[in-house]
Amino acid sequence: MTTRLTLFRQGMGWLIVLAPFFFLTYGQVNQFTAGRSDVGSVVFRWEQNIPFLPLTILPYWSLDLLYGLSLFVCTSRHEQRRLVCQLLLASLIACAGFLLFPLQFTFTRPEITGLAGWLFAQLEHFDLPYNQSPSLHIILCWLLWRHFSRHLPDRWQPLNTSWFLLIAVSVLTTWQHHVIDVLTGFATGLFIDWLIPEKGNWHGKLATGKGMQLSLRYFSAMFATLSATLITPWFWWPTLALLIVTLAYGVAGVNALQKNEQGRIAPAAWWLLLPWRTGMWISMRLYTRTLPPISPVSEGVSISVYPRVLPTQHAVLDLTSEFPRFHATHGKAYYCVPMLDLVNPEITQLRRAVTELERLRTEHDSVLVHCALGLSRSALVTAAWLIYRNSQLTPSDAVAMIQQARPEVVFTPEHRELLQRWKTEIIN
């Protein structure tokens, strides 16, 4: 068992490593870039209207204190190591950005006196205006805000969020960074938070068949948006979203989309995948216009499209991985087993979904099983549940029952093969 004293000692050890690493890498890259002749700048014209507020140097400097303190609020070695990996990766990615895309700050600060002037003078001893994009301050601001949020009670959350928001704004009002640095820093912080998630580990397995086909299709779409970044850099956002979906279908699995049992999508994944999720939402709305919203199947179990109105059923089993829990299902018993669309789930996923469906039905009498369109994932899980309830049913019988209740459903040969394996597992 790891004690608080052990974590404190390890925190001190990590701080002794991280602090010199941070200042040496950041400082050396800054000095190197200062001597380059190819350093430009990216400034929006309206940035001239951002005021210079000297006292915001106080929240700006406070991030250094919070950086050190963060190591000592961890409650497990796993969390502490995860945080250390995030902090190291933040410095490495930021420094790589400073070297590959050198930029400099272009505004000239007025003369400052008093405490604020002294703090600015200390800052200028090691922070020349060349380490710009992505802003390391913004990367750390996101990561540390997320970290402290996990440890503070609800009554302190507004203060915590307000202070980190003030730190984020301070990089502009102290005239340390341009807006482009903030945007790239935010994106980098999100990516690191997604790459080293709070819960779960990456267990990659190379996809085959339909999964690999879909991965290649998403890769092609990603390549197209990557090419479009030559026109406008804003296409980096959908490019990054499509990269994550490509990895999800090709090797990383549904965990890459980071939706949990309560239907919440991790904040980093929520932001990074927003362009893709918007496209999926539009597609879902178009397809569901002609589909029946709910189809009763058997014993209080119904198949549904993604619910947008309050369901009459007492419980909900959500099988989508692309959408968060919709507010219409709040107040109902709820469980989510995220599954990728258009591909077979792992047998362990199918078992978990069937187990939860049976539990919800037993405890709440009626259950709404839904995916996005109510045609594939929900139909597959309900068919597997029918076989689970009645081992005498063949996969063809279960499929026929689902098709009779909802003729629009789609059962592929791969689905039928999975149901046969499921049938064998139930018998054994």
- Is the model more confident about 40 or about 381? 381
**pLDDT recorded at residue 427:** 65
Look up residue 222 and give its two tokens.
Answer: 């990603």
**pLDDT recorded at residue 73:** 94
206 phi, psi to nearest 5 deg: -60, 125
pLDDT category at 112 given cuts 50, 70, 90 is confident
389 phi, psi to nearest 5 deg: -75, -30
**pLDDT recorded at residue 294:** 95
SS3 93: helix
Question: What is the layout of strands, in order, in the sheet containing 333-336?
Answer: 294-298, 301-304, 367-370, 315-318, 333-336
**pLDDT recorded at residue 126:** 74
Report d(CA 142, CA 129) in Å as an integer. 22
pLDDT category at 388 given cuts 50, 70, 90 is very high
**pLDDT recorded at residue 202:** 73
**Closest to 371 (Cα-Cα) out of 423, 412, 409:** 409
Cα dihedral sign, 129-135-138-143: negative
**pLDDT recorded at residue 36:** 83
Please list the alpha-helical segments (H only) found in 101-235: 114-124, 136-149, 157-173, 179-195, 209-228
Residues carrying an active site annotation: 371
Give the tens place of pLDDT for each residue, 72-111: 999 999 999 999 999 999 999 999 999 988 888 888 888 8
| pLDDT of 412 strictly over 60 | yes
**pLDDT recorded at residue 105:** 86
Report d(CA 321, CA 319) in Å as an integer. 7
**pLDDT recorded at residue 241:** 97
**pLDDT recorded at residue 428:** 66
Give the tens place of pLDDT for each residue, 41-73: 888 889 989 999 999 999 999 999 999 999 999
- Cα-atom radius of gyration of the chain, to the nearest Å? 26
Give the tens place of pLDDT for each residue, 192-246: 999 998 876 677 788 888 999 999 999 999 999 999 988 888 899 999 999 999 9
**pLDDT recorded at residue 155:** 94
**pLDDT recorded at residue 120:** 85
**pLDDT recorded at residue 113:** 86
Specify whether the CB–CB gap between 316 and 334 falls below 8 A: yes
| pLDDT of 1 strictly over 60 | no
pLDDT category at 30 given cuts 50, 70, 90 is confident
**pLDDT recorded at residue 174:** 94
The overall average pLDDT reported for the chain is 92
Chain-centroid distance of CA 287 in Å reads 26
Specify whether the CB–CB gap between 374 and 319 falls below 8 A: no
Strand 333-336 relative to strand 315-318: parallel, antiparallel, unpaired?
A: parallel
Specify whether the CB–CB gap between 244 and 235 falls below 8 A: no
**pLDDT recorded at residue 40:** 84
SS3 24: helix
Give the tens place of pLDDT for each residue, 154-191: 999 999 999 999 999 999 999 999 999 999 999 999 99
**pLDDT recorded at residue 2:** 63
**Closest to 256 (Cα-Cα) out of 296, 305, 315, 203:** 203
Q: Which domains does the chain have, with CATH numbers?
A: 4-31+51-104+112-195 (no CATH), 209-283 (no CATH), 293-427 (3.90.190.10)
**pLDDT recorded at residue 342:** 93
How many C-beta atoms surround the C-beta of residue 156 within 10 A? 12
Give the tens place of pLDDT for each residue, 262-302: 999 999 999 999 999 999 999 999 999 999 999 999 989 99
pLDDT category at 408 given cuts 50, 70, 90 is very high
